[in-house]
Amino acid sequence: MDHLLLTESAQHTLTLLIVFGLAKLLAELFERARIPGMIGEIIAGILIGPSVMNLVTPTPFLESLAELGVMFLLFRVGLEVKVQELFSVGLTALTVAIGGVLLPFACGWGIMTAFGMPRLQGIFIGAAMVATSVGITAQVLSARRVLWHRSSQTILAAAVIDDVLGLLVLALITGFAKGEVNVKDIAMTTVLTIAFVGLVGYYGTKAIRHLAPVEKKMRLVESEFSIAMVLLFTLSFAAIVVGVAGIVGAFLAGMAFSDSAGQRLRDLTSGATELLLPFFLVGLGLHVELGGLREPGMLAMGGALLVAAILSKLIGCGLGAFGVSFKDRIRIGVGMMPRGEVGMVVAQLGLTMGVLTQPLYGILVAVCVVTTIVAPPLLAYCYRDVAAEGEDQEFPSMR
């Protein structure tokens, strides 16, 4: 019977069991300690990953589930966000995003220079510090039902803009690393991306409203869900083609349905998300490899980068948040803190381009994960006096 254990199907099923089971076990324990459960799920990934138990490695199977998980997470968050509200915070979000690019980049580069590392490495580390992974923040705000709050809307809009800016930074530094910066290409990508996000954001909701009569005529069971999935996959793919992350498209797809989505669509989407999300969260933890920290000087550098990663977004984004209260500046700064998988993608790129060494890559991934773990409890604290949707709200006039 032993040979059966080695079949791919058996391996996949065992992986599903270990990853999902341990994620939920730790989530339950963390919730009991009043820490957001999703941190438990990331830590489950660290525990079963290469640094600790070495039970599970990030296989293509897990990676693809993780990819779907974060796609559905952003789609579900989009479902709860009205596009008009997002556009109404557009200008503040723009300055938040700019502040959240400049300061982290300068800090990352500065620290590397202070440690005497070559310029190209400094620039790459700076770029990785720029990344914002909005998934975790969005999940916390959504679970606490405070997505209605102006500061939440600002974070979401700023994260989308940040993704566009991050793309530019990445295009610039990879061009720089290869010794050729193609200004024409970069300009075209920028225009395309802005046009894509703007057009889909602005016209998406209206287009979906026009689709409602078509959907009513359909014979397919769960036709609304089917249409939503097709739009989700289409916009995710379009986002990648234009040059931004697929999850930006997923978020836009969700937002396009936010006006018209029925309860059934929300329930079915939640089912897919609940199944897949643990694989994304565990996947974040799985990439953490702490071996690099043993090398001399690395611990100090890692510590400096971590502190800089946390403070630079807090201060950079907080300063950029014009015209809001001090409390909201803090909320926005904390919400923009997680680097998550976006920072890890930049680190991966630096590794494959030969700019970053393996220990440096390990440190960068650890920094990304720790910023992602630190944010949810801070967020929960910052939003403790904001009423959940449906209760009496702090600023009811803002709805």
Binding site for a second copy (CB under 8 A): 1, 4-5, 7, 9-10, 12-14, 16-17, 20-21, 24, 27-28, 31-32, 37, 60-61, 64-65, 67, 143, 185, 189, 218-223, 225-226, 229-230, 233-234, 236-237, 240-243, 246, 267-275
Rounded CA gap, 344 and 321, in Å? 26
Tokens for 129, please give them: 């510090």
The least distance separating a second copy from the CB of residue 392, rounded to whole angstroms, comes to 23
Comparing CB distances to a second copy, the nearer of 270 and 357 is 270
User: Could you count the other beta carbons within 10 Å of the beta carbon of residue 134?
Assistant: 29
**From residue 12, how far is each of 42, 58, 170 by CA, in Å?**
20, 12, 35
Comparing CB distances to a second copy, the nearer of 48 and 309 is 48
Comparing CB distances to a second copy, the nearer of 190 and 393 is 190
Nearest to 303 by CA among 366, 384, 209: 366
**From residue 104, how far is each of 101, 130, 300 by CA, in Å?**
6, 6, 18
Comparing CB distances to a second copy, the nearer of 97 and 272 is 272
The least distance separating a second copy from the CB of residue 105, rounded to whole angstroms, comes to 23
Rounded CA gap, 205 and 82, in Å? 9
The least distance separating a second copy from the CB of residue 316, rounded to whole angstroms, comes to 28
Tell me the one-letter amino acid at 203: Y
Comparing CB distances to a second copy, the nearer of 123 and 242 is 242
Contact in structure between 74 and 341 (CB atoms under 8 Å):
no
Nearest to 376 by CA among 292, 290, 284, 279: 284
Comparing CB distances to a second copy, the nearer of 69 and 122 is 69
The least distance separating a second copy from the CB of residue 63, rounded to whole angstroms, comes to 8
Strands (E), 210-362: none
The least distance separating a second copy from the CB of residue 273, rounded to whole angstroms, comes to 8
The least distance separating a second copy from the CB of residue 270, rounded to whole angstroms, comes to 6
The least distance separating a second copy from the CB of residue 38, rounded to whole angstroms, comes to 10
Comparing CB distances to a second copy, the nearer of 267 and 303 is 267
The least distance separating a second copy from the CB of residue 220, rounded to whole angstroms, comes to 5
Comparing CB distances to a second copy, the nearer of 21 and 118 is 21
Comparing CB distances to a second copy, the nearer of 7 and 84 is 7
Structure-token match 């029925």, residue found? 262
Contact in structure between 141 and 159 (CB atoms under 8 Å):
no
Angle, vertex CA 44, rays to CA 40 and CA 45, nearest 5: 125
Identify the helix (H) or strand (E) that includes residue 16.
Answer: helix 8-32
User: Could you count the other beta carbons within 10 Å of the beta carbon of residue 353?
Assistant: 14
Rounded CA gap, 131 and 344, in Å? 9
Rounded CA gap, 300 and 52, in Å? 22
The least distance separating a second copy from the CB of residue 232, rounded to whole angstroms, comes to 9
Nearest to 340 by CA among 189, 80, 163: 163
